[in-house]
């Protein structure tokens, strides 16, 4: 992967970042993002939705991040220290990629019913930015509900990364593609508070 100027990645060293993975076909690209963050020295915790697990195995993210993947709020690794609360306290930024149409809707109404939404629900977005990278086919992207939810999420201080346009796995062509990992790293660097 081309990281551009490698010096820019030093800003990620030691930073505590959560990556929420949604159930979209682009979930495989997020393995590259996590690898880049880890190689730059970030402490990365991955959370996955139940649908995301249908696309990429937790083992992939566990191996790349070197940490347990947060899958089920009902099975915390440490019952005395529920993960979503502990992670939330320590986190400096969360990125959700691919952020499905479904996740956009759930964030927009403030749901907290799985590992990804629950983790995001306890962040203070004024100091812990939550970056959403939507990815879906162009018909889903153009839905009034999706566009309405995006407006709400921006008002609620979520950072939304614009999807790119191009070829989709469903053989359509248009907006809604997940940007490449380099662009997601740029979005993280832009949103990350100064250490
Ligand atoms: C093969 C396949 C590919 C999918 N790709 C996407 C996608 O790219 N973006 C999206 O928003 N939904 C996509 N979906 C639908 C989501 O998986 C579905 O809405 C799911 O409930 C999302 O769950 P989550 O938001 O909890 O991850 C896809 C479904 C299938 C079966």
Tell me yes or no: is domain 10-136+143-191 CATH 3.40.50.1950: yes
Which two three-digit tokens encode residue 46?
């991955």
Entry field: residues in the chain: 195
For residue 168, is pLDDT > 80?
no
**Which is catalytic among the residues 1, 85, 170, 190?**
170
Confidence of residue 108 (pLDDT cuts 50, 70, 90): very high
Confidence of residue 63 (pLDDT cuts 50, 70, 90): very high
| Strand, helix or coil for residue 26 | coil
Angle at which helices 181-191 and 27-39 pack, to 10 degrees?
60
pTM of the model: 0.95
CA of 81 to the centre of ligand 1 (A): 31
Measured between alpha carbons, how far is 30 from 48 in angstroms, rounded to an integer? 11
Query: What Rg, from alpha-carbon coordinates, does the chain have?
Result: 16
Which two three-digit tokens encode residue 51?
């649908």
Contact (Cβ atoms closer than 8 angstroms) between residue 123 and residue 91? yes
For residue 80, is pLDDT > 90?
no
Q: pLDDT for 13-62, tens place per residue?
A: 999 999 999 999 999 999 999 999 999 999 999 999 999 999 999 999 99
What is the number of the ligand 1 atom nearest to the C-alpha of 116?
26
| Strand, helix or coil for residue 164 | strand
Report whether residue 100 contacts ligand 1, using a CB cutoff of 6 Å.
yes
DSSP character for 11? G
């Amino acid at each position: 992967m081309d990281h551009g100027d490698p010096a820019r990645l030093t800003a990620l060293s030691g930073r505590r970042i959560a990556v929420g993975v949604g159930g979209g076909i682009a979930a495989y690209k997020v393995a590259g993002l996590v690898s880049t963050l880890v190689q730059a020295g970030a402490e990365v915790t991955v959370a996955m939705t139940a649908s995301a697990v249908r696309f990429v195995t937790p083992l992939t993210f566990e191996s790349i991040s070197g940490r347990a993947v947060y899958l089920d709020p009902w099975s915390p690794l440490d019952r005395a220290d529920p993960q979503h609360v502990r992670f939330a306290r320590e986190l400096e930024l969360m990125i959700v990629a691919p952020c499905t149409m479904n996740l956009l809707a759930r964030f927009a109404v403030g749901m907290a019913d799985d590992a990804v939404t629950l983790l995001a629900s306890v962040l203070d977005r004024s100091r812990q930015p939550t970056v959403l990278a939507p990815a879906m086919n162009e018909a889903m992207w153009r839905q009034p509900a999706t566009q309405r939810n995006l407006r709400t999420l921006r008002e609620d201080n979520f950072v939304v990364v614009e999807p790119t346009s191009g070829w989709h796995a469903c053989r359509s062509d248009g907006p809604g593609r997940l940007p490449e990992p380099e662009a997601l790293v740029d979005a993280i660097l832009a949103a990350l508070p100064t250490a």
